[in-house]
Amino acid sequence: MRLRLIFSLIPFLTLFPFLPINAQAPAHRQIAITIDDLPAASAHSMNGAEINEMTAKLLAALQKEKAPAVGFVNERKLYKFSEVDDRIRALNQWLDAGFELGNHTFGHTSLNNVTLQAWEEDVIRGETVTRILLAQHHMKMRYLRHPYLETGRDLQTRRDAEAFLASRGYRIAPVTMDAWDWQFAGVYEDARKRGDSALQQQVVASYLTYTGQVFDYYEKLSRDLFGYEPRQVLLLHGSWLEADHITDLLDVLRKRGYEFVTLHDALADDAYSSPDEYVGEEGAGWLEHWAITRGRPPLNAPVFPQWVIERDKALPHAPPEAPIL
């Protein structure tokens, strides 16, 4: 019997001589890329020429990787004396290159910090220039991203804001993957300005390692919640860290089996219509929303590297901007 079994396996082994035992195809995963705080997260400390240089580098990398992306704009960042045209040109680069733009409110205003009416006015004010640019490219404004992912302190406010957004033709752009690139980016940009390439490399290595941990964590949380991994939505920010290193980041994701899809395709996943009753003082990703809605707050999130927090705290930060009331 045993001999016959071995003989019966021979044709199979001849056909697949290199097939290792327990071989697994890479997981088939999909993710959409979103990039917030345009025209640049650090727009206050960059001039228009630098913003355009950074934007060109970021978009060239995304095009080369054939990775679609939606950029989310804070139009307040356009208004710097004698630079408005230059800053608008940076937004136009996105549309000229075939990417999409959405609204991130005019002044990066949290729904948790102002009245619903004030927040709605900031949403409308944030549409002014972007809508015109989109129309010139035969596109419409489709997405809104909540600043700080703060979606309202109570369910009534949250639902009222959702109804308001739907009435203006918006779909909310959720986030499921977030490795706090903005915090690495602050330290990176400071090192870049000072020509400290050793620190730049250290920041990039730490960012990519932490990204891997974040993906491990949220992929598992996804499987625990849904029994599969929904198409994910990644939150990044318009920064030199991403302009210089998004190819490295996408390599990490490709090795995990990800392909890059549009936000529209990602949101077609059934997961995005799951019940979501999350409210809170703090913004949170949508996997947390769904987990908390089910009464299962997630545990053991990876720990953000403390040294990056300390370095970031020590940097001179932009003066707080006047609240939009």
The residues of the shown chain that bind Zn ion, judged by CB under 5 A, are 36-37
Residue 195 CB, shortest distance to Zn ion, in Å, is 28
Beta bridge partner(s), residue 29 = 258
User: Cα angle vertex 293, ends 301, 172, to 5°?
Assistant: 90
Nearer to Zn ion among residue 36 and residue 150 (C-beta): 36
Query: 36 or 178, CB closer to Zn ion?
Result: 36
The C-alpha atoms of residue 29 and residue 129 are separated, in whole angstroms, by 35
Minimum CB–partner distance for residue 105 and Zn ion (Å): 9
> 227 phi and psi, to 5 degrees?
80, 0
Q: Which of 116, 112, 104, 117 is nearest to 78 (CA)?
A: 104
Q: Cα(241)–Cα(256) distance, rounded to whole angstroms? A: 21
Question: Shortest distance, CB of residue 60 to Zn ion, whole angstroms?
Answer: 23
Q: Tell me which residue has its CB nearest to Zn ion.
A: 36
Give the contacts of 111 (CB within 8 A, at least 6 positions apart).
119, 146, 147, 150, 151, 152, 157, 158, 161
In whole angstroms, the minimum distance from the beta carbon of 288 to Zn ion comes to: 17
* Residue nearer to Zn ion on the CB measure, 37 or 127: 37
DSSP 36: E
Compute the least distance from the CB of residue 237 to Zn ion, in Å.
7
Closest CB to Zn ion among residues 226, 304:
304
To the nearest whole angstrom, how small is the minimum distance from the Cβ of residue 36 to Zn ion? Answer: 4
Interacting residues of 214 by C-beta distance below 8 A, sequence separation 6+: 177, 178, 179, 302
For Zn ion, the closer CB: 109 or 222: 109
Instruction: State which residue, 36 or 181, has the beta carbon closest to Zn ion.
Output: 36
Distance CA 232, CA 234 (A): 6
Please return the burial class of 303, using the count of CB atoms within 10 Å of its CB with bins 0-12, 13-18 and 19+: exposed
Nearer to Zn ion (CB atom), residue 29 or residue 145: 145
Question: What string of DSSP letters covers 123-153?
Answer: HHHTTHHHHHHHHHTT----EE--GGG---S
Neighbours of 288 (CB within 10 A): 22
Helix 197-226 to helix 306-313 angle (10° resolution) is 120
The nearest distance, CB 147 to Zn ion, in angstroms, is 5
At its nearest, how many Å lie between Zn ion and the CB of residue 300?
26
| Of 130 and 222, CB closest to Zn ion | 130
